[in-house]
Amino acid sequence: MQIKARDRLEGVLARLNAGARDEKGVAAVIFALAVAVLTPMALGVFDVYLASEQRGKLQDALDAAALYAARSNAQTSDQIDAIGDKALAANLKLINGATLKGSTFSLSGTKVVAQASVELDAFAPAFFDHKPVQVDTEVQRSIDRLEIALVLDNTGSMVLNNSPKLATLKTEAKKLVDKLALAASMSAEPTPIKIALVPFSNTVRVQDTTSLATYNTASHTGPGVPSWIDPQGKQHYQGTTNNDIFDVQHTDRLTMMKNIGQSWAGCVESRRQPYDISEEAPATSTPASMFVPWFWPDEPDVSGTPKVNDYIADGGGSDWKAKERRSAKYATGVWKRTGSFTTDLGMTYTHGPNAGCTLQPMIRLTTDMSAVKTAIDNMTAIGETNIPLGMVWGWHAVTPNAPLADGGAYGTPHLKKIVILMTDGENTMYDSEHQQ
């Protein structure tokens, strides 16, 4: 296009010059005047045309460069400027004789602001003011942030009868983490995506194993035991009714574990309704809102034949239900069994009060995608399916409220909270005290 226009202009000028050389009286005068007036005008029109064409090319290149810079993870104007300048140089097409005079890219809040100018040769410099061609643009950067909880089914049915469900879940969950990591790497935000991992069965392991060697059995507190844990299970008492698995009111689970030389593996029960499906923060003044440590009670000997999880000496009476509920045996009993037992569904448990608490500990909101993938790889299947418990801990993981309080405040602009559940089927847990 530029070459054709230049050819036409040269043709016009040639005819004007030929007319100027015509010595036939009046014609010579007319052509002389035409050359004096029309030639600068023609050259000026050509200057305008070239400037317009170059402006379009410069605007397109600057828009593309600003968009590219905005999509980068640069955090300073200097970094943005370096990226933008390089992208502009790669995209800009210059007309013959034109030169890029300069360009700037800078951050203004969440926007990338850019401008650039090009200098052109002038065909009629004496008749027109030839300023450099200058354009500008701005791009709003993507600033959405995500807090995501992966709630993954780790129940026995995921591997029952050599089912590949758990292996498939691991593969797909890691693919998702990889995609999120890639998206995070291209974001302008310093921490655009955080992930929490919540493996669940009929319990959730909210933290790793905690030693009870220095646990204070009088104050019911100890190192590593969160303040939102109620070791005494006070939520199991409504008025004078004892709905606990133990016969003595306010039996301290952690004290019993300590007495028989065990640590707390970090699992918890569901809270009492309606807190079992609520994000409401725990409060000591409301026992039902607190979290109770997971505790599988010792199962009694029956006519010399132990139940599956019989791990201490019973003593006291012959009624097996009374033996199972008897809390005193943990103070005087003797640990008598190690190893593991296998249920009729083929699931293997380790003997003791922490039986069933061999899940991977949950991972609180983090940007460490490698740690999340490693934990996914290490997941093993155990127990039954308590979907509400898994989902509520996914909620706890992203909420700004206790017990974890890791999530950003609700209503924060450009912050989205997401809970993703991966499970193979129906809920198989129920609470007998709430059955109709």
How far apart, in whole angstroms, are the C-alpha atoms of residue 378 and residue 205?
14
CA distance 133 to 120: 8
| Prediction pTM value | 0.74
Q: How far apart are CA 244 and CA 28, in angstroms?
A: 119
Contact 343, 349 (CB under 8 A): yes
Partners of 116 in beta bridges = 103, 135
pLDDT per residue as tens, the chain (436 positions): 445 545 555 555 555 555 555 555 555 555 454 544 545 555 556 567 778 888 999 999 999 999 999 888 888 999 999 999 999 999 999 988 889 999 999 999 888 999 999 998 765 555 556 689 999 999 988 778 999 999 999 999 899 888 999 999 999 999 999 999 998 887 778 899 999 999 999 999 999 999 999 999 999 999 999 999 999 999 998 778 888 999 999 999 999 999 999 999 999 999 999 999 999 999 999 999 999 999 999 988 765 555 688 888 776 667 888 888 999 989 877 777 777 888 766 778 889 999 999 999 999 999 999 999 999 999 999 999 999 999 999 999 999 999 999 999 999 988 999 999 999 987 876 443 333 2
Number of C-beta neighbours around residue 240 at 10 A: 6
Strand partners, 421: 151
Matching residue, tokens 């061609």: 133
